[in-house]
Chains A and B, each alone.
Chain A
Amino acid sequence: MRDPEDAPESAEPITGDVIRCDACPVLCRIRTGQAGACDRYANEDGKLVRVDPLLILQRGSAAVPFLGTGKAWSGNLISGTDTFITGIGATTTYPDYKPAPYIVSSKLGGVDVVTVVTEGIFSYCGLKVKIDTDRFLGPELAAVRVDGEPIGHVTTAEYGSQMLSLGGVRHLTGGSKKEGNVTCDAMLRLANKQPVEVKVDDGASIVVQAGAAPVVNGEREERMRVGCGSATIGIFAKQWHGHADEVIVVDDHITGVLTEHQAGRFLEMPPAGVRVRGRRSTPGRYFKVAEPGLGWGGTDITDPLAIIEKIDPRKAWPGMRLLMVSTTGEDAEWFVLDEKLAPIRQPMPGAIRMVVERIVENCEPALCTVLFMGGAGGSLRAGVTENPVRLTRSVKERITRVTCGGAPVYVWPGGGITLMVDVLRMPDRSFGYVPTPALVLPIEFTMTPDAYAGMGGHVDRVVPIERALHEARIKAEAWSEENAWPAQA
């Protein structure tokens, strides 16, 4: 995310990985990964970069080079109209007895607005991690650990996904000092879109990274299942009809058996007499055909015949064609019953293979997604207004728009300003930390000047955006078109 144009005129390489910074007369020699005496410039892979500048996001034009202090701003590329100051690098005034660092007025999308920009320190915060997999990650409520320290727990399983709840004030500050630091570090890396390996008690080891496929016990999870076994039967029954006499879709949650299933009955398929293990829920739908695991469809099964309890000789017949397939289509085998009604593996016919491939096609890529959740309802509000509850009300009434690094947030109903934001929609390296330990999150409140005055805002601190841009260390990035411009209704 660092722009090479951030650097001053030149950064001379001296020897090996050391460069000389010529941003000021000190001419520091800086080794890769280190910062100069000012802590403002650093050597990143042989390039001189500004460290933690205030990030502005711009629409419609390429990112412009940073504004060096003391240099006149050319003014051509930034009119203020399409520039949005983020809280990234804004620094904070914790514990917020002072107005927020940047209270700027600007026109966003032709509307006069005030944006209050700060970096909030969140001790009360956590991550909700959604892992697209049906593989068994661990029992609900099991501790999720990093370096042996508990940083959260396994929570509810959702359709095709497993959820982890990480962080929170009890792990950050309620446990041992090490637990707090490990939790803070893991949350920081996850929130900044970096990978973290977690271990679930009595469960799997998972590499989690926002926007990337989960790696469970060293195996990369490629796809989500198309649905549970029953849903898969419902979707594909007609396409199998005429090509197979029985289809068993193996799934850890619900295993489907075509001829017993409502869909098979509708197609008037004769019962095939293959009885699977587990507990029958409704016709053709079975719970717990095996234990959870890393085999077929999230079960521990590696040989699909292991889930067949018996084959009823009164119903089955020699030459009967049986497809067994997992809910992701990644595992599939084709059997034909011999004279003794024993299933014999055979090459899969083309028509069947096509449907199996269609199951694979219908499985979406498995991803990890990370939502940051925190409460901005505390003293942070004092940086915005003298009467904090009015900010809360204004946010609830959607008069004030809240963004994090320009990304839209979901504000929970009920008391306070408890928000959730998808870290993937925020600029890279948006999050920081303080050794409390707590995470530092950029946050912006945008509203009309009238609304700002009405809530008892620090109106005497409002500066035009052009002036704020002059005074701050600036880094410009292109606005993510995925995110709505904060001033639009």
Chain B
Amino acid sequence: MARAGMNAPSRSRLPGSRLHLHHGPIDLVIEAWGEHLEVEQAYEQAWTRFQDILPTLVSELAVLRAALREPYPLARGPVARRMVAACWPHRSFFITPMAAVAGAVADEMLAALLAGRTLAKAYVNDGGDIALHIANGEHLDAGVVNDPQRPQLAASVRIASQSAARGIATSGWRGRSQSLGIADAVTVLARTASAADAAATLIANAVDIEHPSIQRLPASAVKHDSDLGDLPVTVAVGALPLHAIAAALERGRAAACAMLGTGLIEAAYLALQGEIRVAAHTQHEWRLSA
């Protein structure tokens, strides 16, 4: 698959004994807590698994970039299957399995990290879409950044082992993926990272309103390869009046509540121009630092 000269997967260690894996558009930051040897062995397993993640994924890109509709598409690779499974419940909306690609990679890599190992805690962070392992009695604190250009902690949430949430994902128009909506950030907790990823994408799409200060362009004009085709994606959002912010957030919150009710997500945090809405079961307490 890989031609001579093509960049191969690479790994490095980051301060704080974190592992950084990179291949093409995939950047993973992995951290595990446990016995030293267990952690090192887990990191080796992750590195081994990482080798063919991207080549296998791209071999099925055509299927994964197509809008999801009946019948259930047959994907072969493990990451591709996770993507389709995570997006399938949302097929009444426009969605392609690519909506869950980052979360699915994180889930697959977490599974490889954990196989046969005993770890207290671990996470695989794929550009903000995070798969979590939390052993009994442990907990993880996660922070939310509203604007990736300005990485400042806007809120944080503690996920304890009793919670069902093992995946976190954030979507918004400023992020790396294109959005049909105008949310600065929609952060979702779900049972897997891929489920959180798909849900965050759709909730962020739902945070929307028509207003002259919002600029949109056909997705393909912004990114030639976009799986969104000619759908209008948000490229700029000017200052909005408070009533417009509230109305847009309310649409997003309604979408989040529907997913909450059917168990697709555990919690959602929606931010738009300084205003915040939360949809959650009570055990997830968002602490707002803004």
A22 touches B6 (CB 8 A): yes
Q: Which residues of A contact B176 (CB under 8 A)?
A: 39
Residue of B nearest to A97 (CB): B153
Residue contact B24 to A37, C-beta cutoff 8 Å: yes
Is residue A265 within 8 Å, beta carbon to beta carbon, of the partner chain?
Answer: no
Closest Cβ–Cβ distance, residue B41 to chain A (whole Å): 23
Q: What residues of chain A have their CB less than 8 Å away from a CB belonging to chain B?
A: 8-10, 18, 22-31, 34-40, 68-71, 94-95, 99, 121, 176-178, 434-436, 461, 471
Which 4 pairs from chain A and chain B are nearest by CB? A24-B24, A9-B5, A38-B25, A70-B10
How far apart are the CA atoms of A28 and B151 in the complex, in Å?
Answer: 28
- Stretch touching chain A among B108-116, B193-201, B217-225: B217-225
| Chain B 13-48: CB-based contact to A (< 8 A → 1; otherwise 0) | 001000000111100000000000000000000000
List 15 other contacts, CB 8 Å, given A68-B7, A70-B7. A9-B6, A18-B224, A24-B24, A25-B6, A26-B58, A29-B224, A31-B224, A37-B24, A40-B25, A69-B7, A71-B7, A94-B150, A435-B147, A435-B149, A435-B150
Contacts of B25 in A (CB 8 A): 24, 26, 36-40
- Per a CB cutoff under 8 Å, which of A10, A70, A434, A436 touches B9? A70
Smallest CB gap from B11: residue in A: A70
Contacts of A99 in B (CB 8 A): 15
- Name the residue on B nearest A472 (C-beta): B12
Selected from A22, A37, A94, A177, the residue in CB contact (under 8 A) with B225 is A37
16 contacting pairs across A/B (C-beta < 8 A): A9-B4, A24-B54, A25-B55, A26-B58, A26-B61, A30-B225, A34-B222, A34-B224, A39-B176, A40-B25, A69-B10, A94-B152, A176-B239, A435-B149, A435-B150, A435-B174
- Whole-angstrom distance from the CB of A410 to the nearest CB of chain B? 29
CB distance from B222 to the nearest CB of A (A): 7
Q: Is B74 an interface residue (CB 8 A)?
A: no
CB atoms of B2 and A25 under 8 A apart: yes
CA distance A40 to B15 in the complex (A): 23
In the complex, the chain B residue whose C-beta lies closest to that of A39 is: B176
B2 to chain A: closest residue by CB: A25
B107-163 interface with A by 8 A CB criterion:
147, 149-152
Residue on A nearest B4 in the bound complex, by CB: A9
Interface residues of B in 173-225 (CB under 8 A from A): 174, 176, 222-225
Cα(A27)–Cα(B7), bound, Å: 11
Q: Is A38 touching B4 in the complex (CB atoms < 8 A)?
A: no
Question: Is A28 a contact of B149 with CB atoms below 8 Å?
Answer: no
Task: Report yes or no: A34 in contact with B223, Cβ–Cβ below 8 A.
Answer: yes
* Least distance between A11 CB and chain B CB atoms (Å): 11
Residue of B54, B174, B176, B224 contacting most chain A CB atoms (<10 Å): B224
Tell me the residues in window 203-258 of chain B with beta carbons closer than 8 Å to chain A beta carbons.
222-225, 238-239
Q: Which residues of A contact B54 (CB under 8 A)?
A: 24-26
Contact B224 A8 (CB under 8 A): no
Q: Could you tell me if B6 and A436 are in contact, using CB atoms closer than 8 angstroms?
A: no
Q: Which residues of chain B are within 8 angstroms of A68 by Cβ–Cβ distance?
A: 7
The number of residue pairs between A and B whose CB atoms lie closer than 8 Å in the complex comes to 85
With the chains together, A177 CA to B151 CA distance in Å? 19
Task: Kindly state the separation between the CA atoms of A178 and B149 in the bound complex, as whole angstroms.
Answer: 18
B151 near A94: Cβ-Cβ < 8 Å: yes
What is the distance, in angstroms, from A105's C-beta to the closest C-beta of chain B? Answer: 16
Q: How far is the CA of A137 from the CA of B150 in the complex (A)?
A: 37
CA gap between A448 and B16 in the complex, in Å: 25
- Is there an interface contact between B24 and A23, defined as CB atoms closer than 8 Å? yes
B225 near A8 with CB under 8 A, answer no
Specify the chain B residue showing the minimal Cβ separation from A440: B149
A9 to B22, CA, bound (A): 19
Give the complex CA separation of A27 and B223 in angstroms: 14
**B147 / chain A contacts, CB cutoff of 8 Å:** 435
A231 CB to closest chain B CB (Å) equals 51
Which of A22, A24, A37 has the most chain B CB within a 10 Å cutoff?
A: A24
For A29, what are the chain B residues with a Cβ–Cβ distance below 8 Å?
Answer: 224-225
Residue on B nearest A14 in the bound complex, by CB: B224
Contact A30 B224, CB 8 Å, known A24-B25, A435-B147: yes
Complex interface: chain B residues within 8 A of A40 (CB): 25
Q: A37-B24, A178-B239 are contacts. A95–B152 as well, Cβ < 8 Å?
A: yes
Give the shortest distance, in Å, between B55 (CB) and chain A (any CB). Answer: 5
User: In whole angstroms, what is the CA distance A9 to B6 when docked?
Assistant: 7
B8 contacts chain A at the CB level, 8 A cutoff = yes
Q: Which residues of B contact A434 (CB under 8 A)?
A: 149-150
Q: With A and B bound together, what is the CA distance between A70 and B7 in angstroms?
A: 6
Whether B12 lies near A471 (C-beta < 8 A) is yes
Are the CB atoms of A28 and B3 closer together than 8 Å?
no
Find the A residue at minimum CB distance from B23.
A24
Least CB distance, B53 to chain A, in whole angstroms: 10
Question: Given A29-B224, A37-B24, A461-B15, are A23 and B239 also a contact pair (CB < 8 Å)?
Answer: no
In the complex, whether B1 has a CB less than 8 A from a CB of chain A is: yes
Contact of A22 among B5, B55, B174 (CB under 8 A): B5
Partner of A28, one of B12, B15, B225: B225
Q: Is the CB of A24 within 8 A of B7?
A: yes
Distance A177 CA – B6 CA, assembled complex (angstroms): 44
User: Cα distance A26–B222 when bound, in Å?
Assistant: 18
The smallest C-beta distance from A186 to any residue of chain B, in angstroms, reads: 17
Q: How far is the CA of A136 from the CA of B15 in the complex (A)?
A: 56
Residues in B neighbouring A36, C-beta threshold 8 A: 25, 225
List A contacts of B7 (CB < 8 A): 8, 23-24, 68-71
Report Cα–Cα, A461/B15, bound state, in Å. 8
The residue in chain B whose Cβ has the minimal distance to the Cβ of A35 is B223
Q: Could you tell me the distance in whole angstroms from the C-beta of A17 to the nearest C-beta in chain B?
A: 9
Specify which chain A residues have a CB less than 8 angstroms from the CB of B151 in the assembled complex.
94
Chain B 89-123 residues near chain A, CB threshold 8 A: none
Closest B residue by C-beta to A38: B25
With A and B bound together, what is the CA distance between A18 and B223 in angstroms? 11
Q: Which of chain B's residues have a CB closer than 8 A to the CB of A22? A: 3, 5-6
